């Protein structure tokens, strides 16, 4: 999954600064639907990370049945927190 492609798919633009509030709401809703339907573990995780970046990710215990997947998501959140704090 390419980040720019996912932005275009869900928000209609590859530029995050150009996402309007209406496009954000619609894109987040589409991501939630796709996440609920996705069966591929890797694609599901990638979609969760995108939702996390937009503040729309479901809680880990809801999103992932597997403890290893929850731990990977926690690691991702920690990395993002560290990257944002510098």
Domain boundaries, the chain: 3-84
Read off the pTM. Answer: 0.89
- When pLDDT is cut at 50, 70 and 90, the band that residue 1 belongs to is low
Identify the pLDDT of residue 84.
Answer: 80
pLDDT the model gives residue 39: 94
**Average pLDDT of the residues in 58-64:** 96
* SS3 (DSSP) at 6: helix
Phi, psi of 12 (to 5 degrees): 80, 10
Q: Are 71 and 63 in contact (CB under 8 A)?
A: no
Do 35 and 59 contact (CB within 8 A), yes or no?
no
């Amino acid at each position: 999954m390419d980040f720019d492609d996912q932005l275009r798919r869900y928000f209609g633009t590859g530029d995050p600064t150009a996402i309007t509030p209406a496009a954000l709401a619609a894109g987040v809703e589409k991501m939630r639907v796709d996440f609920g339907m996705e069966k591929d573990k890797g694609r599901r995780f990638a979609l969760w990370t995108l939702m996390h970046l937009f503040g729309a990710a479901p809680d880990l215990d809801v999103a992932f049945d597997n403890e290893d997947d929850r731990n990977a998501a926690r690691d991702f959140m920690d990395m993002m927190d560290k990257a944002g704090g510098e």
